[in-house]
Amino acid sequence: MQTNKNAKCNNCLNNFHQKDIYTIQQFQYKKEPNYQWTLEFFEQLKIGEWDSFCEKCIKEYSNQLDNAWNDQKSQVL
């Protein structure tokens, strides 16, 4: 049985199955950075808490988040 790809990634605009949606809310479970810092980071990129992304794009954003966090930590140290 084939199901419709009824969700759309806000970044690449590819369609995907609704059950495969990722949002930045998933980052609230990371130890570092804290979720408030994460929200502020994504706000600068004009990404909202409920924007939908495919797995590939959310992984790219995760890498950007980690790089920005590590850069900030190294500047403080």
The DSSP string of the chain is ------EE-TTT--EE-GGG-B-GGGGGG-SSS-HHHHHHHHHHTT--TT--B-HHHHHHHHHHHHHHHHHHHHHH-
- Residue 69 confidence (pLDDT): 96
Which one is predicted more confidently, 6 or 38?
Answer: 38
- Tell me which residue range forms the domain holding 52: 8-76
- The domain tally of the chain equals 1
- Would you call 16 helix, strand, or coil by DSSP? strand
Let me know if residue 1 belongs to a domain.
Answer: no
Let me know if residue 19 belongs to a domain.
Answer: yes
pLDDT tens digit string along 12-66? 998 988 888 999 999 999 999 999 999 999 999 999 999 999 999 999 999 999 9
pTM of the model: 0.84
The confidence band for 1, taking pLDDT boundaries of 50, 70 and 90, is very low
